Amino acid sequence: MDALELLYQGKAKSAYVTEDPELLILKFRDDTSAFDGEIIEQLSEKGAINNQFNAFIMQKLADAGIPTHFVERLNATDSLVKRLEMIPVECVVRNRAAGSLVKRLGVDEGLAFDPPLFELFLKNDALHDPMITEHHVEAFGWASRDEMARMHQLTLETNRVLKQLFDDSGLQLVDFKLEFGRANGEIVLGDEFSPDGCRLWDKVTGEKKDKDRFRQKLGGVLDAYREVAERLGIVFDS
């Protein structure tokens, strides 16, 4: 096969064009970043773990009727996805307080939210992903009011599906981030779902099983990712 043409290089994934203009290949790399790319390290096999983790979750979301960009997993590190016109807004849902919320509002880590808390951030590393509201999204034309409502709805629906899935495996889904895009006038989930972009705590011990292990230098990052995958019943290729 000819060398693939790189379309976009993110912090942890690269997107390549294919012969079909509507499809891209996403390559999950071992690069692991924190603090808006301030720290980047390679964690051997993380790309393969996250690609296979993501494929499993995308299938669960599709089964629940959530439209996603995911088409199929191609090999250990690569997946085929639909090309979307991406919206530069990060939708975050929180079932418990952690991370930036704890710093911003000075609440205790672990404070429970019922119903879950929904927040928006602008995807802009140089500005450190500032918090925004749906009014900013409309005023700056990043998405229409209807599109924003749909992103909100799909994020909460994803939370309902995945909260239960992780709960059944003895894990609390604390929070996660999703990005969306447009395809044929429809809002479609255009993000990965892996322990890189969510927080997962052991229901019994409270132990962190996600990228906070990297951010907080707790060690055992990929052992935790593998353990989560194993608990969900994911079997890895390599």
Among 61, 92, 187, 224, the residue binding ligand TMP under the rule CB under 6 A is 92
Q: Where in 168-197 is the site for ligand TMP (CB under 6 A)?
A: 175-177, 197
Query: Distances from the Cα of 122 to the Cαs of 92, 131, 133, 139, 158, in angstroms?
Result: 11, 6, 9, 13, 20
Distance CA 203, CA 115 (A): 19
Tell me the closest approach of the beta carbon of residue 195 to ligand TMP, in angstroms. 9
Pair 126, 141: CB distance under 8 Å: no
Cα separation, 19 vs 145, in Å, equals: 34
Q: Give the residue with the Cβ less far from ligand TMP, 46 or 199.
A: 199
* 202 contacts ligand TMP (rule: CB under 6 A): no
Stretch that binds ligand TMP, among 48-56, 64-72, 74-82, 94-102 (CB under 6 A): 94-102
Size of the site for ligand TMP (CB under 6 A): 14
| Phi (first) and psi of residue 75, to 5 degrees | -160, -165
Residue 201, classed as helix, strand or coil, is: strand
Toward ligand TMP, which CB reaches closer, 82 or 199? Answer: 199
Region 110-149 residues binding ligand TMP, contact defined as CB under 6 A: 121, 129
Cis preceding linkage at 115, omega within 30 = yes
Question: Considering only residues 18, 59, 100, 169, which one is a binding residue for ligand TMP as defined by CB under 6 A?
Answer: 100
Closest CB to ligand TMP belongs to which residue? 99
Phi, psi (rounded to 5 degrees) for 3: -60, 135
List the one residue out of 201, 229, 230, 205 whose CA is nearest residue 213: 201
Q: For binding to ligand TMP (CB under 6 A), which residues are involved? A: 90, 92, 98-101, 121, 129, 175-177, 197-199
